Amino acid sequence: MAKVQISARVDDVLKHALERYCKSRGIVMNHFIQEALIDRLEELEDIEDVKQLRHEPTRPLREVLTEIGLNDQT
C-alpha cells in the first residue's frame, strides 16, 4: 500500500500531549495516528451495523435453540 502524507490542524496542547505520550512509550507518532484513524473508521462502521441490527425482527429463544439443536423440550 502506497504511503501518502495528509495534513490536519490540531490544538497545540493536543499535539504536545501526543508527542509526550508517544515518546514515553517508544511509539512512532505516524503509526499511532494511523492506528487511531483506522480504529475510528472501524467504530463508525460498527455504529452503522448496530443501527441496522436494531431494525431486524427478533425471534423467540425457543425457536433459536430448536434451530441449533439445543432445545431439550420434546
Q: What is the pLDDT of residues 30-74, one digit of tens each?
A: 999 999 999 999 999 999 888 888 888 889 999 999 999 998 765
In Å, how far are 2, 11, 20, 33, 41 from 8, measured between CA atoms?
19, 10, 19, 11, 17
User: At 22, is the pLDDT very low, low, confident or very high (cuts 50, 70, 90)?
Assistant: very high
- pLDDT at site 73: 65
The residue ranges of DSSP E strands in the chain, in sequence order, are: none
- pLDDT at site 8: 94
For residue 33, count CB atoms less than 10 angstroms from its CB and return exposed for 0-12, middle for 13-18, buried for 19 or more: middle
Q: pTM of the predicted model, to two decimals?
A: 0.64
Residue recorded with cell 501518502: 4
